[in-house]
Amino acid sequence: MKELMRTVGLMCLMCCMAAASAGAHDFSADIAKFNAIAATRKADSPESIQARLALERAQAEIDQADVKMLLRIRSLTNSGLRAVGEQPAFLGSEIKRLEDAISHPKTNDPAKLAEAREILARLAVEKKVYDTLENSAVDQMKEALKTLESAPAK
């Protein structure tokens, strides 16, 4: 049980770090609830183990989304900003900034404007994928909590 609690505690820390750095869903309340329920359940029961696996999968999915998707989104946004004569973005509202830059470009080059519009369209798709991955991870966390709640008490 101590090992389960230690691992879930480390996961909580990782979730908080990922959420703080990427603006992702904050799992800290969900993990606190998971920890509270886990403390009242048999750690080696099939339900507890299944819940732990679901928690691990949810965290892995959101970590993948944070690292892979956000880097891709940021790269695309910066490419679009460069295409219209803007400096690369350092703000959280990068997509909005690109939209504004396309609306009021510093360049009259139609090829560069077309490139930026294409990048913005790709960003819209990437953002939808990221949002879907994040929502899936949230759903997995909820399912992990429900599964854990069904585990036998100590």
DSSP letters of 53-83? HHHHHHHHHHHHIIIIIHHHHHHHHHHHHHH
Structure tokens at 55: 């928690």
Is position 19 within any domain?
Answer: yes
Is position 134 within any domain?
Answer: yes
Is position 67 within any domain?
Answer: yes
pLDDT digits (tens, 9 = 90+) for 34-93: 889 889 998 888 888 888 888 888 888 878 877 887 788 878 888 888 888 887 765 447
Question: Is residue 1 scored above 50 in pLDDT?
Answer: no
By residue range, what is the domain housing residue 34? 2-149
Is position 11 within any domain?
Answer: yes
Question: Is residue 10 scored above 60 in pLDDT?
Answer: no
Question: Is residue 9 scored above 50 in pLDDT?
Answer: no
Is position 103 within any domain?
Answer: yes
Neighbours of 95 (CB within 10 A): 19
Query: How far is the C-alpha of 124 from the C-alpha of 85, rounded, in Å?
Result: 21
Question: Is residue 112 scored above 90 in pLDDT?
Answer: yes
Is position 24 within any domain?
Answer: yes
pTM here? 0.47
Whole-number percent of the chain with pLDDT over 70? 81
Structure tokens at 51: 């819940």
Structure tokens at 73: 């989104």
pLDDT digits (tens, 9 = 90+) for 113-135: 999 999 998 888 888 877 888 78
Angle at which helix 28-38 crosses helix 110-149, to 10 degrees, equals 20
Is position 154 within any domain?
Answer: no
Query: How far is the C-alpha of 50 from the C-alpha of 81, rounded, in Å?
Result: 45
Residues 137 and 58 sit within 8 Å (Cβ to Cβ)? yes
Number of domains into which the chain is organized:
1
Is position 112 within any domain?
Answer: yes
Question: Is residue 140 scored above 60 in pLDDT?
Answer: yes
